[in-house]
């Protein structure tokens, strides 16, 4: 999608087995809850944490005779997501029923899109550090409903069910098996999450289960993946296992690593990997079988008779495309170019759209690098330590900009700027007015500094001897002068004067 930044492809993760090196092949199916206040086929609320079974419409509870009515906004969100991943949008898609029995699925089937998804091929650039990234293909995105939640730990003899989540709209975003290691898998989820948050189609709150991933892992020998890439023939790849429902980046990586080693041990032992669905147990640090694909469910997919095929118009898609915000890759490239930032700093500043907007408000009309340093180190650093988001920052962009203006004009030193920032953080106010009221003014008048230097040199003849013998010791004089002038003197000016007066 984006060639704004040139990048090198990272090396795949290699695991040394007893019989030689192995490589990993990974494909992810990410379930992202669509940001929408109402469910996919009902008007019930999607609010997280509501009283159990309080957000359940008749159709969610599968009452007889109830019919689903599609929520246009959810469709729009899926289209927006597809466009942000530079994917093909299918103007005709259709819903299917995936039949299975489970207590948290009152309908006895999930409405999904198996045969005709709304979004086709797209891609995600997965960043692995400045100048290093992998292009991962997205195979499809389809819309489907979420199930409810069974609760087994409230009573020794009974299970409970909460249907609040039943019918909430999900996007399933399916990648090609283009991911080549645990870190890349985590970086893929992070990049996808970032894009979804930029465009507002998913909150990406992994703890709430708002974004969760099924991860498919297989192993192959070096060279096999390139053969697969050249031919798209899956027989070059190993048999995969799928690990369900990962909602932590750390566990995702641990599960992949464990699973790859498990498969290597099986194959090196002369066995065969059996395609199956597994679960990761973070306490034991291992995956275990949940169900095998052989005995697998026959889901008896068939077109949902309650819903007509979904037809959308190109003009509508074009309108959505026109409303997309600037996306992370483009923003990073622009920040590097327009603000003369390193790719690393640009990536930090653009992690969230709100952070990037704040930075640009600070940097406007000012030195980009100075603004980046202050926003990243002083502001973000402090917000992070206090667990605050940019929206809760006690210092506004205008206030921080005011501090930077005083630095740039030479009115205050870096040290004073930090003190001033501290005051603005705690008490608010206009930085220039505070600096004036508190007499925070850097002395650039060399006459005054010279006088202080002369006095200190005159009062410390022994120290002068030492500094002349070893010029490194001249720093002591600078320190004394800064102290004597109450930190108001510009250190660079003092340094130069000290060296000159000592004849160094």
Which residues in this chain contact ligand ADP in the complex, by CB under 6 A? Answer: 25-29, 174-177, 216-218, 234, 237-238, 240
C-beta of 10 vs 238, nearer to ligand ADP: 238
C-beta of 29 vs 203, nearer to ligand ADP: 29
C-beta of 175 vs 194, nearer to ligand ADP: 175
CB 352 within 8 A of CB 316: no
For residues 178 and 229, what is the distance between their CA atoms, to the nearest angstrom?
9
C-beta of 197 vs 236, nearer to ligand ADP: 236
Least separation in angstroms between residue 25's CB and ligand ADP is 4
Nearest to 69 by CA among 306, 263, 330: 306
Least separation in angstroms between residue 169's CB and ligand ADP is 20
3-state DSSP helix/strand/coil % of the chain, to nearest 5: 40, 20, 40
Q: Please name the residue ranges forming H helices in 342-459.
A: 343-349, 353-363, 368-373, 381-385, 397-408, 414-427, 431-437, 446-459
Q: Which residue is nearest to ligand ADP (CB)?
A: 27
The CA distances from residue 211 to 34, 327, 328, 448, in Å, are: 10, 20, 19, 62
Least separation in angstroms between residue 8's CB and ligand ADP is 23
Least separation in angstroms between residue 174's CB and ligand ADP is 5
Least separation in angstroms between residue 421's CB and ligand ADP is 47
For residues 259 and 191, what is the distance between their CA atoms, to the nearest angstrom?
23
C-beta of 174 vs 189, nearer to ligand ADP: 174
Least separation in angstroms between residue 61's CB and ligand ADP is 29
CB 217 within 8 A of CB 246: no
C-beta of 23 vs 76, nearer to ligand ADP: 23
C-beta of 45 vs 277, nearer to ligand ADP: 277
Sign of CA dihedral 358, 359, 360, 365: positive
For residues 261 and 24, what is the distance between their CA atoms, to the nearest angstrom?
10
Least separation in angstroms between residue 293's CB and ligand ADP is 7
In the numeric block, which tokens belong to residue 465? 């001897």
Helix axes 182-199, 72-84, angle to 10 degrees: 130
Instruction: Output DSSP code: residue 52.
Output: T
Least separation in angstroms between residue 172's CB and ligand ADP is 10
Give the CA dihedral 160, 98, 136, 329, nearest 10 degrees. Answer: -70
C-beta of 116 vs 176, nearer to ligand ADP: 176
């Amino acid at each position: 999608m984006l060639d704004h930044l040139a990048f090198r492809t990272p090396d795949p993760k290699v695991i040394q087995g007893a019989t030689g090196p192995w490589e990993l092949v990974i494909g992810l199916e990410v379930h992202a809850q669509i940001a929408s206040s109402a469910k996919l086929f009902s008007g019930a609320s999607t609010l997280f944490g509501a009283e159990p079974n309080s957000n359940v419409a008749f159709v969610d509870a599968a009452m007889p005779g109830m019919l689903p009515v599609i929520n246009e906004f959810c469709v729009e969100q899926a289209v927006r997501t597809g466009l942000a991943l530079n994917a093909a949008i299918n103007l005709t898609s259709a819903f299917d029923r995936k039949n299975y029995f489970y207590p948290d699925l009152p309908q006895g089937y999930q409405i999904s899109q198996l045969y005709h998804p709304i979004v086709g091929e797209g891609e995600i650039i997965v960043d692995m550090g400045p100048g290093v990234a992998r292009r991962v293909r997205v195979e499809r995105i389809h819309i489907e409903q979420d199930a409810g939640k069974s609760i087994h730990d409230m009573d020794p003899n009974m299970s409970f069910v909460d249907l609040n989540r039943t019918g909430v709209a999900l996007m399933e975003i399916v990648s090609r098996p283009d991911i080549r290691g645990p870190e890349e898998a985590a970086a893929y989820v992070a990049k996808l999450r970032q894009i979804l948050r930029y465009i507002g189609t998913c909150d990406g709150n992994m703890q709430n289960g708002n974004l969760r991933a099924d991860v498919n892992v297989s192993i192959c020998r070096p060279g096999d993946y390139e053969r697969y890439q050249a031919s798209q023939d899956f027989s070059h790849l190993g048999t995969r296992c799928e690990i369900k429902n990962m909602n932590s980046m750390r566990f995702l990586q641990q599960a992949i690593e464990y699973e790859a080693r498990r498969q290597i041990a099986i194959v090196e032992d002369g066995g065969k990997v059996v395609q199956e669905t597994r679960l990761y147990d973070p306490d034991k640090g291992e995956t275990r079988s949940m169900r095998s694909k052989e005995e697998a469910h026959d889901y008896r997919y068939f077109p949902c008779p309650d819903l007509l095929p979904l037809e959308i118009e190109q003009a509508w898609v074009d309108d959505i495309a026109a409303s997309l915000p600037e996306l992370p890759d483009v923003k990073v490239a622009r920040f590097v170019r327009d603000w003369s930032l390193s790719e690393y700093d640009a990536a930090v500043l653009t992690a969230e759209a709100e952070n990037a907007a704040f930075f640009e408000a600070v940097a406007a009309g000012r030195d980009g690098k100075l603004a980046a340093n202050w926003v990243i180190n002083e502001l973000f650093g402090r917000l992070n330590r206090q667990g605050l988001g940019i929206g809760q920052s006690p210092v506004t962009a205008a206030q921080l900009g005011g501090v930077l203006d005083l630095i740039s004009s030479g009115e205050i030193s870096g040290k004073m700027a930090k003190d001033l920032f501290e005051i603005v953080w705690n008490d608010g106010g206009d930085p220039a007015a505070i600096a004036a009221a508190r007499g925070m003014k850097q002395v650039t008048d060399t006459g005054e500094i010279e006088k202080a230097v002369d006095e200190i040199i005159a009062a410390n003849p022994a120290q002068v001897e030492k500094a002349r013998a070893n010029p490194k010791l001249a720093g002591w004089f600078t320190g004394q002068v800064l102290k004597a002038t109450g930190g108001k003197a510009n250190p660079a000016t003092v340094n130069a004067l000290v060296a000159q007066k000592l004849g160094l």
